[in-house]
């Protein structure tokens, strides 16, 4: 019983780490979705690209820290290209075509990655400085790399909230999320704001991809795992609410973490059950704005 109880804080930490990772991906997705009414399937593909670029850079330069800087920038660039080159083209023909397009793009990216790297998981070494475990309190060892994930994502989160709440860009973004047409009428260049949000969102997804690489290794199935978790986050948290996305990510992280240990047979279903319950009781999500 003693050992049973002592794993609880560790499970909680696991859930927290995973929840923060999901948040990094889902936050960009929810902002893009609420601004332009696009369900961007390819967002999780960008996260996967981040992980594979990280793998490639480590192969070439053997430096995780270099990858941590460069790979998210590559992702942001891809995000901007995706918005300017593809999504913009079909925006006029309605949300069905946009969804289908990003869906096709996700499919193509998945296949290209399978083509280049194969389908087997590729290991990425944990950076040398973070290989040891840290003694949290008596008897509890925790891998320092996971603590690093937690700290880094908290720092990114703080940075994101700073941008959104304290800068001029943040005000514009929030205005566009609230009511794009009105913001446009008041002189905000919605198109520029949107491409900026796209860049920030894909940059965040890239960071998540890089830091997840040594933790879960790199494989083409990352895409479908992440996209479903992101959808769950958006369903639970509601569209357009960053705070909601944060709370939802933490809930999803804990559900995953505890579910695997205590309800192993139905853990895979749990997340959908949570989603379905929220959808039926409160279709706009826990924190979402009413339609």
Partner 1 sequence: MNRSVQGAGILFILILAVMCPWFMGKFHIYLLTEIMIYSMLGLSYYLLLGHTGLLSLGHAAYFGIGGYTTALFLHGMPGVPVSLTLLFGAISGLLAGFLIGSMVLRLTKIYFSFATLAFGQMVWAIAWKWRGLTGGDDGLTGWSAREFVFPFLGRFSLTHVTFLYYFVLLITVITIGVCWCFTRTPLGNTLAAVKSNPTRTNFLGININAAKLMLFGFTGLIAGLSGSLFILFKKMVAPNFLDMFMSFDVVVMSVIGGYSSFLGPIVGSFVYVYMVEYISAVTDRWQLIMGVFFMLLVLFYPKGLVGMFKDVLKRRIFLKRKVCS
Residues that bind partner 1 (CB under 8 A): 33, 37-39, 86, 89-90, 93, 95-97, 99-101, 103-105, 107-108, 110-112, 115, 224, 228, 231-232, 234-235, 265-266, 268-269, 272-273, 275-276, 279-280, 283, 291
Nearer to partner 1, 110 or 200 (CB): 110
Q: Closest by alpha carbon to 74, among 63, 82, 62? A: 82
Nearer to partner 1, 144 or 267 (CB): 267
20 vs 1: CA distance, rounded Å: 30
Nearer to partner 1, 58 or 109 (CB): 109
Q: Specify which residues 137 forms β-bridges with.
A: 140
39 vs 268: CA distance, rounded Å: 23
Q: Closest by alpha carbon to 34, among 146, 226, 154, 176? A: 176
Residue 260 is classified by DSSP as H
Nearer to partner 1, 83 or 150 (CB): 83
Question: To the nearest whole angstrom, how small is the minimum distance from the Cβ of residue 164 to partner 1?
Answer: 22
CB neighbours of residue 277 within 10 Å: 12
Question: To the nearest whole angstrom, how small is the minimum distance from the Cβ of residue 199 to partner 1?
Answer: 22
Residue 244 structure tokens: 């909601």
47 vs 211: CA distance, rounded Å: 10
Contact 106, 202 (CB under 8 A): no
Using DSSP's 3-state secondary structure scheme, residue 124 falls into coil
Nearer to partner 1, 57 or 106 (CB): 106
234 vs 210: CA distance, rounded Å: 22
Question: To the nearest whole angstrom, how small is the minimum distance from the Cβ of residue 61 to partner 1?
Answer: 29
291 vs 289: CA distance, rounded Å: 6
Token pair 């509601």 is found at 238
Q: Specify which residues 154 forms β-bridges with.
A: none
Nearer to partner 1, 13 or 25 (CB): 25
Nearer to partner 1, 103 or 161 (CB): 103
């Amino acid at each position: 019983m003693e050992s049973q109880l002592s794993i609880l804080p560790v499970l909680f930490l696991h859930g927290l780490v995973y929840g923060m990772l999901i948040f990094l991906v889902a936050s960009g997705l929810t902002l893009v979705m609420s601004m332009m009414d696009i369900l961007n399937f390819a967002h999780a593909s960008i996260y996967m690209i981040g992980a594979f670029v990280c793998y490639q850079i480590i192969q070439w330069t053997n430096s995780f820290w270099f990858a941590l800087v460069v790979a998210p920038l590559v992702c942001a660039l891809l995000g901007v290209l995706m918005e300017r080159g593809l999504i913009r083209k079909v925006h006029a023909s309605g949300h069905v075509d946009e969804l289908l397009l990003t869906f096709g793009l996700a499919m193509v990216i998945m296949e290209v990655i399978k083509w280049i790297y194969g389908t087997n998981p590729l290991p990425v070494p944990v950076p040398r400085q973070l290989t040891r475990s840290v003694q949290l309190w008596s008897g509890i060892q925790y891998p320092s790399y996971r603590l690093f994930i937690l700290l880094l994502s908290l720092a990114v989160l703080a940075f994101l909230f700073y941008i959104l709440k304290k800068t001029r860009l943040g005000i514009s973004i929030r205005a566009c999320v609230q009511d794009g047409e009105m913001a446009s009428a008041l002189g905000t260049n919605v198109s520029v704001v949107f491409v900026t949000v796209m860049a920030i969102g894909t940059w965040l997804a890239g960071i998540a991809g890089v830091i997840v690489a040594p933790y879960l290794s790199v494989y083409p199935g990352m895409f479908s795992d992440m996209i479903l978790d992101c959808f769950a986050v958006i369903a639970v948290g509601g569209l357009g609410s960053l705070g909601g996305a944060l709370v939802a990510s933490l809930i999803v992280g804990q559900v995953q973490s505890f579910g695997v240990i205590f309800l192993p047979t139905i853990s895979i279903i749990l997340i959908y059950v949570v989603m379905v319950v929220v959808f039926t009781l409160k279709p706009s999500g826990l924190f979402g704005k009413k339609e």
